[in-house]
Amino acid sequence: MKGTMCGVYKAKPAPGAEWRTDLPIPEVGKNDVLVKVRAAAICGTDMHILPWTPWAAERLPLPMVFGHEFSGDIVEVGEGVTEYKVGDRVAGETHIPCNDCYMCRTNRRHNCVNMKIIGVHAPGCFAEYIAFPKDCVYKIADSVPYEKGAMLEPMGVGVHGVSVGQVKGQNTLVYGAGPIGVMAAGAAKVMGAKKVICVDVFDAKLELAKKMGADVVINGKNEDVVKRVLEETDGIGADVVIDYTGNEQAIRTGFAALRKNGRFVIVGLPSRDVTLNLSDCIIYKEATFTGVTGRLMYETWDECAQILATPGFSLDPVIGGIYPLKDYQKAFDDIIAGKPGKMILIP
């Protein structure tokens, strides 16, 4: 497809971005699809890219369009693509696997040794069109609105953590009530958790966690988290702790609230090294400690689709705002101001 498109363009290694109306529509490679973007969502990664933090400076090959959470319609396919066709409604998996390394060959493509990431190493979705590999295509049902389709990628991060936590019948402590945390809290209820306890330091976010299904919410700024968790679990502690914050104090508190022989799953990315007393946190407790990254390709996506179709589960409360793509700065500003939920951009 020839022509130009509108998009959010990171032209130089400095804070900010440009709204452009003259960007070329991406070319489609042999094994690529071209998608008309119908909805895109802002991720924490984008909160590094726009202000140009050291994390972004180490990774992005500028200039480029960024953004990686999206859904839309296929409008063109490469000559090597037979699995998908024009008109398919799809969402995008962020991780681009090499399909050749040991991890890819053993069905762990989400943890590819040579991983590239859409919107970080490859052009992203904050534009009218995006071209990306067929390996990263996930078809969505006609019943799934585009806004919710754009949220399946981050929802998958939350669901992956819950799935690894094996929460069925378990008292489950979810640390962090950001968009991924609250979606995880809702998923934990659908997946049979006995009691879901959610911790954050913002009351508005905790209210959102309750709407998504959390049984108990705790403001860690105002309450003794460990004491409350023990009260809610008959003095035993949480069977499962899943951290979506990466915050050092939250991780330490989570371990203190974990019962002996419990499972601790860490999904949030710490911004610096974390110091733990391994004897007390893991060894003496015989705790299971597991790290989780991204989503399984595509088992987690299928889990998300099943959860989304479960009566009583809805992503509506998680949508914090819907903005025209050209008003991207307003959406970013609202996130910085602490507005809860996921911000959706419509090209």
List, as one string, the DSSP characters of 183-228.
HHHHHHHHTTBSEEEEEES-HHHHHHHHHHT-SEEEETTTS-HHHH
Q: Where are the domains of the chain?
A: 4-151+315-346, 159-291
Q: What is the C-alpha to C-alpha distance for residues 262 and 102, in angstroms, rounded to an integer?
A: 31
338: left (phi over 0), alpha (psi -120 to 50) or beta: left
pTM of the prediction?
A: 0.95
Q: Which residues of the chain have pLDDT under 50?
A: none
Q: What is the C-alpha to C-alpha distance for residues 252 and 267, in angstroms, rounded to an integer?
A: 14
Q: What is the C-alpha to C-alpha distance for residues 220 and 224, in angstroms, rounded to an integer?
A: 7
312: left (phi over 0), alpha (psi -120 to 50) or beta: left
Catalytic residue among 4, 45, 94, 310: 45
Q: Residues 176, 242: contact at Cβ < 8 Å?
A: no
The CATH number assigned to the domain with range 159-291 reads: 3.40.50.720
* Residue 86 burial by Cβ neighbours in a 10 Å radius (0-12, 13-18, 19+): exposed
Q: What is the C-alpha to C-alpha distance for residues 30 and 118, in angstroms, rounded to an integer?
A: 18
Write the class of the CATH domain 4-151+315-346. alpha beta
Residue 4 bears catalytic tag: no
Domains 4-151+315-346 and 159-291 share a fold: no
Q: Which residues contact 128 (CB under 8 A, 6 or more apart)?
A: 5, 6, 7, 25, 36, 37, 347
Task: Tell me, rounded to whole angstroms, the distance of Cα 68 from its chain centroid.
Answer: 10
Predicted local distance difference test score (pLDDT) of residue 338: 87
Question: pLDDT tens digits for 191-208?
Answer: 999 999 999 999 999 999
Q: What is the C-alpha to C-alpha distance for residues 145 and 319, in angstroms, rounded to an integer?
A: 12
Catalytic residue among 48, 95, 110, 160: 48
Residue 48 bears catalytic tag: yes
Q: Apex CA 68: angle with CA 64 and CA 69, to 5°?
A: 150
Predicted local distance difference test score (pLDDT) of residue 28: 97
